[in-house]
Structure formats: C-alpha cells, structure tokens
Amino acid sequence: MPKLIVTLDGPAGVGKSTMAKQLAKELSIPYLDTGAMFRAIAWKLGEGAWRWDETELEGEMAGFDFTLSGVGETSILSLNGVEIGDEIRTEQVGMWASNVATLPVVRTFLKQAQRSIGDRFALVAEGRDMGTAIFPDAPYKFFLDATVEERARRRFLQLRDMGKPAELEELKEQIEARDLQDRSRTVAPLKPADDAITIDTTDLSKTEVFEALVQGVKK
C-alpha cells in the first residue's frame, strides 16, 4: 500500500515548519523539512558553490547522505550521521540555499534523496515543490500563503526566539528577493500544485491554520 504523504508548500516565513511539525505529531508520522536539505548543502559547500561546474557539484554531493529518524516534532534530519542544527537558520544561508536550489543538478540529487525517504516513511513533507515535483501523487496537498509583511513579522519573531535578532525591514526585503528567485526559476518553481488546497494564513492564528489542515486531511 502506498505510504501516506501530506505535502505542505509555500513561500518563505509562512510557518510551514511549525505546521508540519504539529501535523506530523497529530498523525504520528515523521515530517521532512526539505528546505533544511537545501540549506545544509549550501552551508556545507559554502558561499559561491552555485557558480561551480556541475561535475564538481555532483562529486561533492555524492558524499552527502541524508537520513530521517523519529516521529512528529521530534523528527531528526541528519546529514552524514550528524543532526542538522540551527547554524543553517539565518536569512543569509536561506539565500545561499535559494541560489543552489536554482541548479538542476542539485534538485535532481535532492529529488532522489527525498523520494527515497518517502519510499520508507509516511511523511508530512514541507518545501516549495513537494506537491508539484517530488510527490505529485500525494493524496493530501496544501499550499500555505500570507502577505510578505506578515511573513517577515513571523520570521522576525522566530529568529528572535532563537537568539538571532534581525531587522524587520531588512528581513522583508530578503524574503521578497528569495521568493522572487524561488518563483521565477525554471526547474520546480514555487507554486501551488493544481490539486492543492491553498490556505491564506495572513489573518489566521496558528490554531486556525492547524485546524484547517486537520480538516483537509480528515476529508
């Protein structure tokens, strides 16, 4: 029997990770943060890796092995046996991730890694192209959206809670630049799948968004 896959896509700062964790807990299955995979690759390879040639990138990525363990909010994503930590959670690494995410060679590598995790586990899979490119046959697909002002505010609070204070206006500009690049790339751009349920979360509380997701899955 195919495994249960719930896809959760949407732009930066919309609250996908928070919702993916909660929903995975509710369903007692792991969640997969695919943004963390792009961030980890960008972080490991370092600034400017997006200008390397394809063979060099392929060679480096051949040494990368992503694994997932645990369930619900305690799902752990590791790269080569080491848990991916908070060092990837800055807007700068987010932009590096967006830069490497434009490269077909990186997307092909991660597509294989993500699908192989999806072959082994039921998942709440969150990212940009989960419903469109990676798990097009998933039975439950959601696209979360919100205004850029609200998303910058949410990211601001999240970074502050992690002890990484940022400037709100600057965050807004960075998020806008990253979204533009994510929406306009040729391979697997950020967009809702045709059969996804879109939820505008701008004026919704976390509880309301969560309830909308649970309702959608119960249907």
Q: Residue 28, annotated ligand binder? A: no
Compute the distance between CA of residue 109 and CA of residue 34 in angstroms, rounded to an integer.
12
Site for ligand C5P in 100-159 (CB under 6 A): 101, 127-130
**Minimum distance from CB of 124 to ligand C5P (Å)?**
13
Give the residue, chosen from 6, 29, 45, 97, that forms a contact with ligand C5P under the rule CB under 6 A.
97
Q: Is 218 a known ligand-binding residue?
A: no
At position 168, the amino acid (one-letter code) is L
Question: Does 16 count as an annotated binding residue?
Answer: yes
How many residues bind ligand C5P, per CB under 6 A? Answer: 15
Q: Which amino acid is at 33?
A: D
Euclidean distance between CA atoms 213 and 219, whole angstroms: 10
Q: Which stretch binds ligand C5P (CB under 6 A): 64-72, 91-99, 144-152, 199-207?
A: 91-99
Nearest distance in Å: CB 218, ligand C5P: 25
Does residue 125 have a known ligand-binding role?
Answer: no
Binding mask 181-200 for ligand C5P (x = CB under 6 A): -x------------------
Residues 26 to 55 in contact with ligand C5P, rule: CB under 6 A: 34-35, 38-39
Contact between 178 and ligand C5P per CB under 6 A: yes
Q: Contact 124/24 with Cβ under 8 angstroms?
A: yes
Which helix (DSSP H) or strand (DSSP E) does residue 31 occupy? strand 31-33
Structure token digits, residue 162: 């992690």
Q: How far is CA 176 from CA 11, 126, 167, 169, 198, in A?
A: 9, 20, 14, 11, 20
Q: Which helix (H) or strand (E) holds 6?
A: strand 5-9
Instruction: State both tokens at 155.
Output: 């990211």
CA–CA gap between residue 127 and residue 155 (Å, rounded): 16
Q: How far is the CB of 35 from ligand C5P (least distance, A)?
A: 2
Of 5, 6, 12, 27, which one interacts with ligand C5P (CB under 6 A)?
12
Burial class, 181, CB count within 10 angstroms (exposed 0-12 / middle 13-18 / buried 19+) = middle
DSSP-based three-state secondary structure for 25: helix
Nearer Cβ to ligand C5P, position 124 or 130?
130
| Residues near ligand C5P, by CB under 6 A | 12, 34-35, 38-39, 94, 97-98, 101, 127-130, 178, 182
